[in-house]
Amino acid sequence: MVCGKKRVGEELRCKSCGSPFEIRTGFHYRENIEDNFPYIKNMISLGESETPIFHGDDFDLKLDYMLPTFSYKDRGSRILISHIADIRDSYGITRISEDSSGNAGASIAAYGSAAGLAVDIYVPETVAGRKFSQIQAYGANVIKVKGSREDVQSAAERSESFYASHVLRPEFRDGIRTLAYEIYRQYDRMPRNIYIPVSAGTLLLGLYSGLRHLMESGEIAEMPAIVAVQTEAVSPLCAKINGLNYDPDNKLSSIADALVSRKPVLLQKMYQVISEYGRCMTVSDDEIIEARNRLAKKGFLVEYSSATVYAAFRKKPQENSLLVLTGSGLKNDS
């Protein structure tokens, strides 16, 4: 949150300043990664393991799509759903809702089902494709909503189910700390630059939280530069960072269909992090397609949204860089 007020129960937004909450670590980094989440009593698992790193000649790749539902979102879903499972008896939770037609919806559906919860996923009326099919495969009840992306979110939040928002629930972002821990464990010295795709901000803020924890614990001496990558069509963070005009109501679209947050509620927090510890780059659809094709020829098939990081690296290569590949190319329809 912005004002510093402590969260009460399962509040989504601070009643004083209106911003989402965040979880702060008040302890030294622990070698066993699960021990860094002391508020989780019983950790749900779908067999997760450290995602591998490919060391190339000019850059490294973190294959973070090699998780149970084939996207990095499983890091957040595991912690969020474990937390919900812990409190379900106290709050009478039997059914959860989420608004997402993509990777988050699939991940929440998988972990929610594994926890024995009924799952409602609210999606835009026009949704289709492999990600939608994946959500259905996990047994989620899919509710199609007419209108804008905001209308879909509103419907999920107003439902009688417990709203398991991957954007507003701080436990989801907190789960992505594990990405920073893994990178730290896999390198003798941390990479100087970490490239990530950015949309709603969960990946950026979760990664930053983990890196900050490592710094506060004395495990690393300096913060790697976080290179946030957005599409030219949907670039609210880059516009704010680089002082450019941006119309969040524009009708432009991108082949990177996972990077669609035009009015991210976490924008101000993202701006603070990148202003101090990184930079923001935009890439065009042509650059994304070329990057995806080049990665595939190297043996790495990723979704278009994930290929944005390689597109950005090719525009402005930096020595000692790690590119985080966040979603499998098997999720794209073509």
pLDDT tens across 187-200, in order? 999 999 999 999 99
pLDDT tens across 237-260, in order? 999 999 998 888 888 889 998 998
Query: From CA 45, how far away is CA 327, in angstroms rounded?
Result: 19
Q: What is the largest CA-CA distance in the chain?
A: 53
Residue 308 has pLDDT above 60, yes or no: yes
**Is residue 28 a part of any domain in this protein?**
no
Q: How far is CA 217 from the centre of its chain?
A: 24
**Is residue 47 a part of any domain in this protein?**
no
Same domain, 249 and 270: yes
Residue 275 domain boundaries: 53-72+172-331
Q: What pLDDT is attached to residue 332?
A: 85
Same domain, 79 and 58: no
CATH number at residue 139: 3.40.50.1100
| Residue 2 pLDDT class (50, 70, 90 cuts) | low
Residue 131 has pLDDT above 70, yes or no: yes
Which region, left, alpha or beta, applies to residue 259 given φ > 0 means left and ψ of -120 to 50 means alpha?
beta
Same domain, 207 and 320: yes
Same domain, 176 and 271: yes
pLDDT tens across 42-95, in order? 999 999 999 999 999 999 999 999 999 999 999 999 999 999 999 999 999 999
Is the distance from CB of 74 to CB of 111 less than 8 angstroms?
yes
Mapping DSSP to helix (H, G, I), strand (E, B) and coil, where does residue 56 land? coil
Query: From CA 4, how far away is CA 110, in angstroms rounded?
Result: 34
- Give the pTM: 0.96
Same domain, 62 and 99: no
Query: From CA 47, how far away is CA 91, in angstroms rounded?
Result: 28
Which of 169, 199, 221 corresponds to the end of one domain?
Answer: 169
Q: What pLDDT is attached to residue 250?
A: 81
**Is residue 243 a part of any domain in this protein?**
yes
Query: From CA 46, how far away is CA 157, in angstroms rounded?
Result: 27
Domain count, the chain: 2
Query: From CA 291, how far away is CA 313, in angstroms rounded?
Result: 9
Is the distance from CB of 127 to CB of 101 less than 8 angstroms?
yes
Same domain, 131 and 190: no
